[in-house]
Amino acid sequence: MASLQTSATRAAQRLRPATAAFSAASQQCRAGSSAAVAGKRSWMEHPADSDFPLQNLPFGVFSCRKGGARCATAIGGYAVDLSALANAGLLSSLPFDARSVFQRHTLNAFMALPRPAWTATRARLTELLEAGGDEKVKRDEDLRAAVFQPLSEVTMHLPAEIGDYTDFYSSKEHATNVGIMFRGKDNALQPNWLHLPVGYHGRA
């Protein structure tokens, strides 16, 4: 756990707050594989080393001066307003009510959907953003203004309502220290810790 926390801290220090927030969200909601879009490019210009090319469309929650918190993805240096896409009818082919799901202030409803819904969403977003794909957004200046918001001008939010969690003892030192508190130094680390994952349920 210590190494994961260190890596996350270093990553957050390197990235802008909006980029870091989207990166964290994408770890929770990433669906499908980038193999299907390998080699493809977006018609949205962005640096070659962008954190969010077509092959890595994350999911998060943002707000800006144009409205309150709602769901988004990102391409290059822009947040992509999923509720705006849904309201324009461009996500109507998805196997769920995109308007209802993406206008919410968390990703909980989206994360609760089955994997095929995530895969279909990623495929449709790729279609709308890739060069040579569906050009409805690309050709509509007013729609582009509604859909794309610079990451430097948005506020990112906690993307999920967290009801509870399971914490795993992944650090031998931590498990030993806690064991000393409860059982004393001579019986601090239980033998089963070395042979199977040990976790406990808690509430956020």
Both tokens assigned to 79: 């947040």
Instruction: Spell out the residues 6+ positions from residue 45 whose beta carbon is closer than 8 angstroms to its own.
Output: 76
- 102: nearest Cα among 127, 77, 84, 79: 84
Compute CA 34 distance to the chain's CA centroid, rounded to the nearest angstrom: 15
| Structure-derived torsion over alpha carbons of residues 129, 96, 84, 69, reported in degrees to the nearest 10 | -110
Check: CB of residue 110 under 8 Å from CB of residue 103: no
Cα–Cα distance for residue pair 179/181, rounded to 1 Å: 5
- 61: nearest Cα among 52, 74, 72, 48: 72
Would you tell me how many other CB atoms lie within 10 Å of the CB of residue 193? Answer: 15
Question: Is 46 noted as a catalytic residue in this protein?
Answer: no
**Which of 105, 174, 195, 201 is an active site residue?**
174
Cα–Cα distance for residue pair 44/129, rounded to 1 Å: 7
Q: Which residues are tagged catalytic? A: 174
